[in-house]
Structure 1
Amino acid sequence: MTTYDIAGQTVTMPVQVRDASAGTVLFEVDAAGAAALLPTDAFEIVETSPGKAHLAVVLVDYRDNDLGAYHEVGLTLFVRPRSGGEDGTFITRLPVDQSFTCEAGQKIWGFPKTVERIDVENTATSSTWTLRMDGELALTLRLPRGGADEMPPAPMIAYSLIDGVPHATSFTQGGEGSQIVFGGDGVELTLGSHPVGRELAGLGLPGAPVVLSTWTETMRATFEEALPLKPE
């Protein structure tokens, strides 16, 4: 059993998420621009069509989680290891609004977590997230909220760097109260003056096509230990 000492507390693997709400908006962006955001050449962007790739903005309200209760905004690309292996995700930015999960995410998985201000406003049919970094607006994103579908636990892989070494984290995610909305109905993105906002503008947002949005009202997940990738 692997454990980590995080801010004087013991975190035992795997990390369990027992209750959260999660939303995703998937944008179609330029593949070369997406590749430029990767901090390593160990991965290549997965193209959805020639010269195109997907960027996911992932929003999670963690309510019952081994790392505490917090909000999280993830900017995520889809990649594959150049050394071979499964397609997975690579998170380029991962703001959170609590320091414990920030330290845990960095130490355990090498995720690029930073502590920022995240404000969330929910209605019966929408969820609006505002991210401020260094006192500047980075983005405001509204997406549809709702759904009655069940999402069975699905296995996935998240890639990251720990001390410059590529790692893979296996995780599963599922839940209830889910929906998928194809296209951009109900999605509204505003970018701010913070460098992250300008970074997204460089990918063509907010005008980039919205492929789909998802919402899961009651999400559960399990995150395993990060393991180093085998070299080529």
Structure 2
Amino acid sequence: MASHLIQGRAVGTPVRVRDATVCSAFYPVRADAARAVIAYSGLDVAEIVPGKAVCVLLFADYRDGDLDAYHEVGVAFLVRPPGGRGATGLADLRNAGVFVHWLPVDQSFTLEAGRTLWGFPKELADIELRLTSPYKRCILRKDDRVVLDLLIKPGVPVPGTGPTIPMDAYTHRDGVTRRVPWKVRASGTRVRLGGALVRLGNHPVAKELSELGLPRRALFSSTVAHAELMFDAARPI
């Protein structure tokens, strides 16, 4: 097991999150615009229909895990695995991974660990989460500027606890694109078509999202009351 020294603590992989709430909204965006945003990674976006990619906005409350408790917001895109080309629709999405374009957090330990272990693009930001009501809300500020205000409406309950699902995340840092195998198991899940309202601020990342076509109606949104996650070691590609 690989181990890294983070702020005087040894952290090895896999890294486990034992309890988290995760809320997300999936938006259709122009594939050419999304390609331009992530061109630095060398990866290509997956297309749900010709010319349309998927941008994911998410926020999470990590309550118990190997990297301590913290809040996180993510801007990500569904991407084809390296070398994948051609197909669109379900054939493209079946093998899609998630490229993490921006990942603000509110604690320095997870910031350093995320950058060091996996190359995640973590930055410190002010993250206000409101999770006690059926409507889940995140207000993200960076450099004293509002980036976004995202509201997820309650959806239809999904019964039971889902299976453990393996997935691939992709990151890019210091000129290297990496694949990060991870797994998630969810319970207390709710989903709905649409179901998200987003207001963009005046931060440069907000401008980037507006150039992708946001705000607009989400494809669907989800809330997971209890998620367990496991992140394995990153592998350069």
Flag structure 2 segments of 5+ consecutive residues without an equivalent: 86-94
For the 8 Å contact 1:17–1:221, the answer to whether it is kept is yes
One of 178, 184, 187 as aligned partner of 1:167? 178
2:33 is aligned to 33
Normalized per residue, the structure richer in strand is: 1
Query: CA shift at 1:175, angstroms?
Result: 1.8
2:76 is aligned to 76
Aligned-partner SS, 1:196 = helix
**1:37-76 equivalent positions in 2, closer than 5 A:** 37-40=37-40, 42-76=42-76
Deviations 1:75-94 (A, max 9, x none): 01011244359531111110
Query: CA shift at 1:129, angstroms?
Result: 0.2
User: Among the aligned pairs, what percent are the same residue?
Assistant: 38
Distance 2:182 2:154 in 1: 24
Query: CA shift at 1:154, angstroms?
Result: 0.5
Aligned-partner SS, 1:161 = strand
Aligned-partner SS, 1:36 = helix
Aligned-partner SS, 1:40 = helix
1:220 aligns with 2:228: yes
Aligned AA (2:233): E
2:129 is aligned to 120
Normalized per residue, the structure richer in helix is: 2
Q: 1:39 to 1:210 in 2, by over 3 A?
A: same
Aligned AA (2:15): V
Aligned AA (2:228): R
Query: CA shift at 1:179, angstroms?
Result: 1.5
Query: CA shift at 1:166, angstroms?
Result: 1.9
Q: 1:84 to 1:205 in 2, by over 3 A?
A: closer
Aligned AA (1:189): V
The Cα RMSD (Å) is 1.6
Distance 1:155 1:142 in 2: 27
Distance 1:175 1:41 in 2: 29
Instruction: Give the TM-score normalised by structure 1.
Output: 0.92
1:202 is aligned to 211
Q: 1:41 to 1:100 in 2, by over 3 A?
A: closer
Q: 1:2 to 1:82 in 2, by over 3 A?
A: closer
For the 8 Å contact 1:23–1:215, the answer to whether it is kept is yes
Instruction: Give the TM-score normalised by structure 2.
Output: 0.90
